[in-house]
Amino acid sequence: MKKNQTIPEKIWQFFCSVKLTVYTLVLLASTSIFGTVILQNGSKQEYLRLYGDAFYNLIKVFNLDDMYHAWWFLLLIVILCINIVVCSIDRLSITWKIIFPKQIKFNPQRFRKLKNLETFTIDKTSESLSGKYETFLSKTVGAVIKEETETGTVMYAEKGRWTRMGVYVIHSSILLLFIGALIGGLFGFKANLQLDEGETSDTAFIVKKRIPVNIGFSIKCNDFFVKFYDTGAPEEFRSTLTIIENGKESFTKDIRVNHPLRYKGINIFQASYGTAQPDSVALEIIRLSDKDVTSKTIKIGQEIQLPEDQGVFKLEGFLPHFDFRGNNLGEAFIGKITQKDGNSFQIALPIKFPTFDKMRKGTFAFVVKKFEQKYYTGLQVTKDPGIWYVYSGFILMIIGCWITFFMSHQSYFIEIEKNKTNRSKISISGTTNRNSQGMKLKIQKIVTKLKDK
């Protein structure tokens, strides 16, 4: 860095540094490893179990549990974007003069010294060849600059000056990718929404933080279907969803895993499912003394009188997983018996074990006979307003790479030297800003074609 520079000049030189580009890319690459190795968007209990109390505090301080949205990671992306812009602007003026010169000039002596120079002699006068070669060069390359010399005629043509902008197309694509990532990180979200069959909601909850977010319209789960393999594993599950906006149904669509619903920039994915709380259940109340059975249908939260005025039974709720002495007995209804003497206690009625309550010593035992199996659908709701920037960046990246690696700025030189006889000496050479070996082959092909003119 030069001495006696002003502060703006120092800042410009800092962001114009290639070293800054390398260091920032290394930091982004190395810190991205944390986002792969460390669990993202997990619960506090998961982090404490996996990493311990001390490392958990470090994770929270540097937002390593949501690293790609951490302020320092986004700051690195901003620095790299500024670096790319400044470097591009700093070098653009030179490239611009090459692409758009005030006057195209060429030095014949320079082309005569090139290693790919090819020469041959032909039994024709320079006057008869000049027009043919000029037409050939014009058609295959571009506009021809023609000059007469003491020894004959020189011609120059070029194409592809604009291909030097390929690197700037790549720079622009990288900027669009980073801008898309920044916009998505700052203004996008990833949330979960759980809906029972028949339920409607317009609010999802941000993953991990459990912050409610209004998605701008309502989603209704009309129906949920699940199909199982013989092993009991789910083969397919899908939700029938209706989009409701301004109180009116817009449309209805089935979604499955990897077949989301997209509406107004919101993506709704089928993520999970589970057993929802049934509306009601049919019970058999068995008097253990004589096996007398009384059938009752009861709703969640409802109370019924026990036979012979022995007390009150209340159906308190439904658990998808009931734990009994360390064993998961699966789905179970939870009830509460209040005896006529005022004593009360809870009982569990596992669906997979109908006679489970008979193990309890008492006057009556309860058995679940029938209930309507209901499910809830687990939806992942995402919004990424930067996605179109990312898509545009990928398209520009492909175009820029094609220009940079498969196209080039090429210059061609042909010299026709007069001879005292009716013979002419032809010299051909050319330059390119990349793939010099390919240019040598092109010169040889031109020589073959010009010999036939």
Label residue 42 by pLDDT band (50, 70, 90).
Answer: confident
Half-sphere exposure of 396 (CA within 13 A, CB side): 19
Per-residue pLDDT at 427 exceeds 90? yes
Label residue 275 by pLDDT band (50, 70, 90).
Answer: confident
Contact 196, 374 (CB under 8 A): yes
Per-residue pLDDT at 448 exceeds 70? yes
User: Percentage of the chain with pLDDT > 90?
Assistant: 41
Contact 47, 39 (CB under 8 A): yes
Per-residue pLDDT at 4 exceeds 70? no
Q: How far is the C-alpha of 166 from the C-alpha of 364, rounded, in Å?
A: 83
Angle at CA of residue 389, ends 386 and 394, nearest 5°: 130
Work out the average pLDDT over 325-340: 89
Per-residue pLDDT at 5 exceeds 70? no
Label residue 348 by pLDDT band (50, 70, 90).
Answer: very high
DSSP calls for 13-70: HHHT-HHHHHHHHHHHHHHHHHHHHS-SS--HHHHHHHHHHHHHHHHHHTTGGGGGG-
Which pLDDT value is given to residue 228? 78
Which pLDDT value is given to residue 382? 92
φ and ψ at residue 153, rounded to 5 degrees: -135, 140
Q: How far is the C-alpha of 113 from the C-alpha of 332, rounded, in Å?
A: 91
Which pLDDT value is given to residue 349? 92
Per-residue pLDDT at 268 exceeds 90? yes
Label residue 210 by pLDDT band (50, 70, 90).
Answer: confident
Query: DSSP assignment, residue 159?
Result: E
Domain ranges of the chain: 7-99, 108-160+423-451, 189-276+376-383, 280-371
Q: Which of 90, 262, 86, 85 is nearest to 178 (CA)?
A: 85
pTM for the full predicted model:
0.67
Per-residue pLDDT at 1 exceeds 70? no
- Bridge partners, residue 300, by sequence: none
Q: Flag the least confident range among 90-94, 275-279, 299-303, 377-381.
A: 275-279
